[in-house]
Amino acid sequence: MATVHSPRIKAKHQRLVLLVIALAVVLLAGLLAAWALRSQASYFYVPSEIVAKPPEADRFVRLGGMVEKGSLKTAPDGVTIRFVVGDGKSRVPVSFSGIVPSLFVEGSGVVAEGRMQPGGTFKADNLLAKHDENYVPREMQNMTQAQARKVVAETQ
Amino acid sequence: MIAELGLAALWLAAALAVLQLVGGALALTARGSALGDLVRPVAVVQGLLALVAFAALIRVFAVTDLSVRLVALNSHSMKPLVFKIAAAWGNHEGSMLLWVTVMGLAGGFVALVERRLPERTMLATLAGQAFVSLGFYAFLLIASNPFERLATPPAEGNGLNPLLQDLGLAFHPPTLYLGYVGLSVAFSFAIGALVTREVGPAFARAMRPWVLGAWIFLTLGITAGSYWAYYELGWGGWWFWDPVENASLMPWLAATALLHSCGVLAARNALRAWTIMLGVVAFSMSMVGTFLVRSGILTSVHAFAVDPQRGTFILALLAINIGGALTLFGLRAGTVTEGERFAVVSREGALVMNNVLLSAILGIVLFGTLYPLAAEAMGAKVSVGPPYFNPVSALFFVPMLVVLAVGPLLRWRQDKLDRIGKGLALPAAMVVVALLAVLMIGGAGLLPYLGLALGAGLAVASFLPLRDRNLRRTPLPIWGMVIAHFGVAVALLGMASESAYSVERLVALRVGESTAVGPWSVRLASVDPVAGPNWTALEGKLEVRYAGGAVEVARPQARNFWAPAQQTSESSLLTRWNGQLYSVLGEEASDNRWQVRLWWKPFVTLIWLGGMLIALGGVLAVIGHVLSDWRRIVARSRIADRRESQGR
């Protein structure tokens, strides 16, 4: 009798093992995702926020605002630019090495992706300007109500 | 006139979808109802009518009929013809029309050729297909009519976004859509099987070519999309974990899991409820992807139409379809009888692990894609990028590669690991050798090292299932599996090599000056104006030499389109067997210097070669399965004929 029953019990047991493995993997994935999102998501700041409460050093964040008129300067190497991003309350100096998006101009909105440097300069790895006449980076649409109006009025 | 014809065809198709749904449902309740015989022809005609509507849209775009609102908004009489046609689906309304057209044609094709399943299951399947289609017909006709006329046609159209004026991109969305919508057939099959409780190997065999077909198109679409982003955006990256990219990756992950579980169901009659569930999930992911892309709810480098009303509509469709299907699944899953049993260490066990790990990666991608939405609801604006996706998904991808190497060597039902241990010695040795080699070269991070080592091992392991086989008699699906798995290894090697050994150089050069990037020396010979059909450009002439060899010329451009007025940078790619030299021309800096950005990317082309190999594997598998089904049908009818003749 036992020899007849044992394979079936074993099969059920093995099914359970698979189920436990599957559940463990799913649980692990969920926990990992939650933990990683808390530490790796990049937050969006406007200049007054980033000045009032700067992010930890080396944390990848996004900074959005208006490029101040007359602030754009090219460094002697010909590929690094410096400019100031403001939101009417605070101003943050930004440096960027690379080819700027074609619609990046003074007095226009920009989202810079990068890190805050110890000296208070924001080092951008990437600049997002408006893509075309129909598209404004989403964050720009609700920076603050006043700015939103300004950017939208300018881009449409 | 053409536009009105298209609109009429669309309304008619929607009406037929109602008939298909009601007819199928009624025929299910009252057996032998005459309505049942109508369902198949109705499905075919519905698909053809949707095709007529789509052809009408292409026609109005081809002749640039500016009295049609959509044409005026998205096209321009000065564009090359191929981009006029591509503009038909390069916008929201047109792409949704393409969606229902593919869906209608797929349903019609199933109705025409699928004869293996019980008729009741087919009726339920076609009714399900009609139900999902109806939602999208309603969406088109109510919220996004592509054929709307303008009272006063403008003198000229707005033009198509120049980034989209590219041959690769013209055919990228239709390819992806074939994949997205192909999964709707799997969804409908799952619904049909749940309604009639007919889940078994026959069902899996009927569903498998559809899953494989959709999966092939998704694979090609993702590969092409990645290559487009790589050369057209001019950032040198090939995958940005952008919501729009994730939207195509998620259905692919689900479809990959589904086609593997389909294999288990077809061969061993196990994983029954799970396969049904995946069928529902895969198409749900297609719809979630469409919702994310089309509602403009997420920030994206691609950024399509932003229209809250449309977003709400798609969200409602999503809720009805997914919610309905999951409810049906919850009600019926308990009655799907348990399949054949198997041991943990067996081919089935390995495929379960594959499914679990793929689902985990799918969950991680979905979670990361939706997280910004959840955070925004709580008042924080965040974006989630590579620092999250790369390490977290790699944690599950690495064990999956191990399963991928081991699984195909295992026997069905029950096996022992020591039996296959010897065979795995060779790939394991490859991993160790590759790891030592990359550690000696140095200069990269943990993930690229791991990728190179595992890629080398997997490249060998993927061919092991052919060992002890007569290669001439090896069935096509086995070849397909081997080639697809080898493609995974090739793509992985390309990704790891690109991220480990890429060299970048950003300089400002005067005409005549030189620079170097990796093994290349680069000289800016001249910058000249050039003109195209609807753009002018500045073209840099870069004279480049690989390791002191012969001079080759790269010509990156900074283009100015005039309709709509927009600048794009056209990167130049010089392909060698061992990598690509990628160059971009930027602005003219002060003092007559030009910004030039250069990358040397060793073996980067393996990424897309691998993608194409994966798709090729799928094609071989489809051909193999369809041929063997065909042979079975022919043999069966021959036996039937013989019996009949003997009976006389």
Statement: residue A13 has pLDDT above 80: no
Scan for tokens 């019980």, then name that residue: B118
Helix axes B272-295, B308-332, angle to 10 degrees: 170
pLDDT of residue B387: 86
Distance between CA atoms of B199 and B276, rounded to whole angstroms?
8
User: To probe the interface with A, which of B356, B365, B583 has the most A CB atoms within 10 Å?
Assistant: B356
Pick the CATH number of A44-155 from 2.40.50.140, 3.90.1260.10, 3.30.365.10, 3.20.80.10: 2.40.50.140
Alpha carbons within 13 A on the beta-carbon side of B439: 9
Query: Would you state the pLDDT for residue B296?
Result: 60
Q: N- to C-terminal Cα distance for chain A?
A: 83
CB pairs under 8 A between A and B: 128
Phi, psi of A4 (to 5 degrees): -75, -40
Cα–Cα distance measured from residue B437 to residue B456, given in angstroms and rounded to the nearest whole number: 11
Contact between B356 and A22 using a beta-carbon 8 Å cutoff: yes
Q: Which residues of chain A lie closer than 8 angstroms to B240, CB-CB?
A: none
Cα distances (Å, whole numbers) of residue A79 to B232, B557, B585, B592: 21, 18, 12, 13
Contacts of B508 in chain A (CB under 8 A): 77-79
Joined together, the tokens standing for residue B515 give 């620079």
Is B556 buried (19+), middle (13-18) or exposed (0-12) by CB count in 10 A? buried
Partner residue opposite A25 with nearest CB, options B161, B357, B591: B357
Output the pLDDT for position A134: 42
CB contact under 8 Å between B368 and A103, yes or no, is no
- Closest by CA to A113, choosing from B386, B559, B245, is B386
Number of neighbours of residue A120 by Cβ within 10 angstroms: 11
The span from the CA of A58 to the CA of B47, in Å, is 55
Q: Is the pTM of this model over 0.80?
A: yes
Looking at beta carbons, which residues of chain B come within 8 Å of A26?
A: 356, 359-360, 363
Question: How many other C-beta atoms can be found within 10 angstroms of the C-beta atom of residue B295?
Answer: 20
For chain A, which residues make up each domain, given as ranges?
1-41, 44-155
Q: Would the CB atoms of A18 and B360 count as touching at under 8 Å? A: no
Contacts of B589 in chain A (CB under 8 A): 74, 78-79
Chain B residue closest in CA terms to A104 = B567
Cβ atoms of residues B541 and B528 within 8 Å: yes
Chain A residue numbers touching B595 (CB-CB < 8 A)? 78-79, 99
In angstroms, the CA B82 to CA B170 distance is 8
Which of A40, A46, A74, A81 should one mutate to test binding to chain B, selecting the residue with the greatest count of B CBs within 10 A?
A40
Q: Is A16 on the interface with B (CB under 8 A)?
A: no
**B564: cis peptide before it, omega within 30°?**
yes
Provide the mean pLDDT of chain A: 75
Give me the DSSP letters along B472-540.
TTS-HHHHHHHHHHHHHHHHHHHHHHHHHH-EEEEEEE-TT-EEEETTEEEEEEEEEEEE-SSEEEEEE
Q: How confident is the model at residue A130 (pLDDT cuts 50, 70, 90)?
A: low
Q: Which residues does chain A have within 8 Å of residue B390's beta carbon, measured at their own beta carbons?
A: none
**Which residues, including other chains, have CB under 8 Å from residue B296's CB and lie 6 or more apart?**
B303, B304, B305, B306, B307, B311
Question: CB–CB of B344 and A17 under 8 A?
Answer: yes
Residues on chain A touching B587 (C-beta within 8 angstroms): 99-100
For residue B312, the tally of other CB atoms under 10 A from its CB is 12
User: Does A26 sit within 8 Å of B566, measured CB to CB?
Assistant: no
| CB-based contact A18 B587, cutoff 8 Å | no
Question: Per-10-residue mean pLDDT for chain B, 648 residues long?
Answer: 93 95 87 78 96 96 90 84 87 89 94 87 93 92 89 80 72 87 93 88 91 96 90 82 88 96 91 91 90 64 52 83 90 78 87 93 92 80 86 92 92 86 89 92 85 94 90 91 97 94 92 93 94 88 93 91 76 93 86 90 96 97 91 86 78
**In this structure, what token pair is assigned to residue A117?**
């440097």
Chain B residues lying within 8 Å of A28, measured CB to CB: 360
- Give the closest-approach CA distance of A81 to chain B in angstroms: 10
Structure confidence at residue A55 (pLDDT): 85
CA neighbours within 13 Å on the CB side: how many for B149? Answer: 10
CB < 8 Å to A137, chain B:
299
Closest partner residue to B343 (CB to CB) among A14, A102, A128 is A14
Pairing of strands B579-588, B572-576: antiparallel
pLDDT at A151 exceeding the cut of 80: no
CB interface of A with B, residues 105-124, below 8 Å: none
Residue B383 in tokens: 């974006």
Q: What residues of chain A lie within 8 A of the CB of B359, using their CB?
A: 26
Distance (Å) from the alpha carbon of B587 to chain A's nearest alpha carbon: 7
Structural domain spans, chain B: 1-159, 503-602
Is there a contact between A25 and B360 if contact means CB atoms under 8 Å apart?
yes
The alpha carbon of residue A119 is apart from the nearest alpha carbon of chain B, in Å, by 24
Exposure on the CB side of residue B506, measured as CA atoms within 13 A: 17
A138 touches chain B (CB under 8 A): yes
B219: its two tokens: 């694979």
**Is A43 part of any known ligand binding site?**
no
Inter-chain touch B368–A29, beta carbons under 8 Å: no
Cβ contact (<8 Å) for A137 and B299? yes
- As to burial, measured by CB atoms within 10 angstroms (0-12 exposed, 13-18 middle, 19+ buried), residue B48 is middle
pLDDT tens, position by position, B63-74: 988 899 888 888
The closest CB to that of A40, out of B349, B388, B593, belongs to B388
Choose from B246, B369, B382, B397 for mutation: most chain A CBs within 10 A: B382
Q: How many Å apart are CA B320 and CA A49, to the nearest integer?
A: 41
Question: ipTM of this predicted complex?
Answer: 0.77
Which class for B4: exposed (0-12), middle (13-18), buried (19 or more C-beta within 10 A)? exposed
CA A152 to chain CA centroid, Å, is: 22
Cα separation, B532 vs B538, in Å, equals 11
pLDDT for res B648: 57
A38 to chain B: closest CA residue:
B388
Q: In this structure, what are the phi and psi dihedrals at residue B235, rounded to the nearest 5 degrees?
A: -100, -5
Q: How far is A75 from chain B (nearest CA, A)?
A: 10
Helices B272-295, B347-377: axis angle to 10 degrees equals: 30
List the single residue in B234, B356, B508 with the smallest CB-CB distance to A79.
B508
Distances (CA, A) of B306 to A128, B159, B249, B311: 18, 18, 22, 8
Residue numbers in B near A62 (CB within 8 A): 383
CB atoms near residue B405 (< 10 Å): 25
Residue A102 forms contact with B (CB below 8 Å): yes
CB contact under 8 A, B590 and A78: yes
Tokens of B231: 């050369």
- Using DSSP, state whether B153 is helix, strand or coil: coil
Rounded CA separation B275/B268 (Å): 13
In chain A, residues with a C-beta closer than 8 Å to the C-beta of B381 are 43-44, 139
* Residue B343 backbone dihedrals phi, psi, to 5 degrees: -80, 165
Task: Confirm if B494 and B606 have CB atoms less than 8 A apart.
Answer: yes
A155 pLDDT tier (thresholds 50, 70, 90): very low
Decide if A18 contacts B349 (C-beta within 8 A). yes
Choose, out of A9, A10, A14, the residue to mutate when testing the contact with B (most B CBs < 10 Å).
A14
How far from the centroid of its chain's Cα atoms is residue B603's Cα?
23
Query: Does the distance separating the beta carbons of B584 and A25 come in below 8 Å?
Result: no
Helix (H) or strand (E) holding B328: helix B308-332
Distance from CA of B472 to the nearest CA of A (A): 36
User: Which conformational region is residue B530 in: left (phi greater than 0), alpha (psi within -120 to 50 degrees), or beta?
Assistant: beta
Beta bridge partners, B599, equal B504, B582
Chain B residue with the nearest C-alpha to that of A125:
B235
- Give the per-residue pLDDT at A144: 45
pLDDT value of position A19 = 81
